[in-house]
Amino acid sequence: MTPTPADVLAPGIDTRLSVREGFTRDETGLRGRVPRGVVRARSTADVVACVRWAAAVGVPVIPVGARTSLEGHLLPLGDEVMLDVSAMSEIIRVDQSDFVAVVQPGVTRRQLSAAVSPYGLHFPVDPGADATLGGMAATNASGTTSVRYGGMRRNVLSLTVVTADGTVHRLGRQVAKTSSGYDLKDLFIGSGGTLGVITELTVRLHPVPDSQGSVRLSFPDVEAAVDAATDLIGTAAPVSRLEFVDAAATSALNGFCGGGLPPSPALFVDVEATSSAALVDVLDGVEAIARDHGLLDGCRAQSAADRTALWDMRHRLFPAIKAAHPGHGFLVTDTAVAYSRIAEAVARAHRVADELGVHVTTAGHIGDGNVHAVVPYSGATFDRARRFSDRMVEHALSVGGTATGEHGIGLAKKRYLADEHGSACVLMAAVKTALDPQNLFNPGKVLDP
Ligand SMILES: Cc1cc2nc3c(=O)[nH]c(=O)nc-3n(C[C@H](O)[C@H](O)[C@H](O)COP(=O)(O)OP(=O)(O)OC[C@H]3O[C@@H](n4cnc5c(N)ncnc54)[C@H](O)[C@@H]3O)c2cc1C
């Protein structure tokens, strides 16, 4: 029998079943199909070759970075080829005087920060996991430092992308601002691998501040913690991280790492200053605001070692929750709402969890109005966990918020897109069809054209 074009293998494709099966599941608890194979690109030319082959034979392509995304972005739904760009990990250039770096998409945020630290610079976007910059751009990632530095949209100046016909385009310019033409760079940021493959990024770097300090502040209740956080934003305190944990979270941390935290809601705050004397004033100001809201207990950290210990505790929250619920999967919501709605959203999370009989911990980036609810589930409680997520999204949308502040729509949150965007979904589908008429890139994710 004469082979059809689809039988002709993509250049360098790995078709081992053990490798392909690794893509059928992720943190969502949803299952994907076994993909056709994995292609590992090492250059833009490799990506072009794979995309041209895929377009010619009609096989869809899913771009792959560090595989840390949380919403089923990478689950194959048909016969896709996984186009892994994580080995494209060269830092091409650091322009110290322009505060930019040019990188391949597989460079991770920690790799970049380590490379630019000798210049007194850092790349601030921190989604917790050591994700690739290509994957972070594709999900518009943000994290603990976004309250000060913004997420990927604010920190990516230009992209090189390969589109569905295998053409290489440069989007954006290496300048602090531009008003030129439609902003296609920002269209690709957050597109979840559905519009093309990012093969190069120019990102902003920031000077490492002269002095930084941290403080953990415990409050009698959620409202007090939220009000203190809102006041910190309102007084324009130079806050670079502003994280919330509820009482369930502090209990989990105490159980996991002997934290000795009061079992009550807390804020973890980082501030920046131009000198160590100024830093003391800033920290005094933060604690004064906390006292206005009934501060129960505070712990200040100024040395590098103490700050690391304080933030290590915050970063160990997810392992602590996992340890408290062995054998469970975990659903993590990431709705974002206006500051005035945060306390209501946290209270609602606990009320809905009680109604549905599931456990919940709330914690996250309160400085961005983006508080996560983490719900452990077993086979028997998976549907209830999903209902919990639906109720949280319903609430966020009803008060003008968003279904996803940072993780993206992927597959798991696709059912919320129409409720959030209404008729604008028609425009999104038109964009997808115009850029990817064959529905070649990550089909079935974000929206159906
Ligand atoms: C413990 C933990 C904590 C997390 N906390 C946060 C958080 O605070 N904030 C946050 O934003 N996220 C968070 N995440 C989610 C995750 O780290 C981000 O979504 C991250 O941006 C994904 O990057 P990645 O390299 O792993 O991409 P992948 O998971 O490999 O891919 C993600 C998506 O991007 C697409 N993609 C990947 N590379 C490219 C490319 N080169 N071109 C085009 N499309 C591409 C893929 O097709 C997919 O749709 C967390 C994850 C974990 C495990």
User: All domains of the chain, ordered by start, with CATH?
Assistant: 5-86 (3.30.43.10), 91-207 (3.30.465.10), 211-318 (3.30.70.2190), 325-421 (3.30.70.2740)
Q: What is the pLDDT of residue 26?
A: 87
Residues having CB closer than 6 A to ligand 1 are: 62-70, 73-74, 85, 105, 127-129, 131-132, 134-136, 138-139, 141-143, 192-193, 197-198, 318, 406-407, 442
pLDDT confidence band for 267 (50 / 70 / 90):
very high
pLDDT score of 110: 97
> How many angstroms is it from 18 CA to the middle of ligand 1?
23
Confidence of residue 30 (pLDDT cuts 50, 70, 90): confident
Tell me the pLDDT tens digit for each residue of 75-127: 999 999 999 999 999 999 999 999 999 999 999 999 999 999 999 999 999 99
pLDDT at 7: 52
Residue 8 has pLDDT above 60, yes or no: no
Residues 132, 117: Cα–Cα separation, whole Å: 18
208 CB contacts (<8 Å, ≥6 apart)?
Answer: 117, 120, 121, 122
Closest ligand 1 atom, CA of 195?
43
What the block records as the tokens of 99 is 């505060």
Provide, rounded to the nearest whole percent, the portion of the chain with pLDDT above 90: 93
Tell how far the Cα of 222 is from the centroid of ligand 1, in angstroms: 30
- pLDDT value of position 29: 81
Q: What amino acid is encoded at 194 in this protein?
A: T
The model's pLDDT over 124-179, given as tens digits with 9 standing for 90+, comes to 999 989 999 999 999 999 999 999 999 999 999 999 999 999 999 999 999 999 99
- At residue 229, what is the residue type? A
69, 84, 432: residue to mutate for ligand 1 pocket, most atoms within 8 A of CB: 69
Q: How far is the CA of 31 from the centre of ligand 1 (A)?
A: 18
Q: Please compute the mean of the pLDDT values over residues 392-410 and round it to a whole number.
A: 97
Q: Which atom of ligand 1 is nearest to the CA of 199?
A: 41
**Rounded Cα–Cα distance for residues 353 and 372 (Å):** 13
From the CA of 316, how far away is ligand 1's center (Å)?
A: 19
Averaged over 229-252, what is the pLDDT?
A: 95
Count of CB atoms situated within 10 Å of the CB of 255: 13
Mean pLDDT (the chain) is 95
Q: Specify the pLDDT at position 2.
A: 46
Give residue 1's pLDDT band: very low, low, confident or very high (50, 70, 90).
Answer: very low
pLDDT for 260: 85
DSSP designation for 66: S
Atom of ligand 1 nearest to the CA of 88: 41
State in Å: Cα 144 to ligand 1 middle: 15
377: closest CA among 314, 318, 319, 332?
332
Kindly tell me if the per-residue pLDDT of 377 is higher than 50: yes
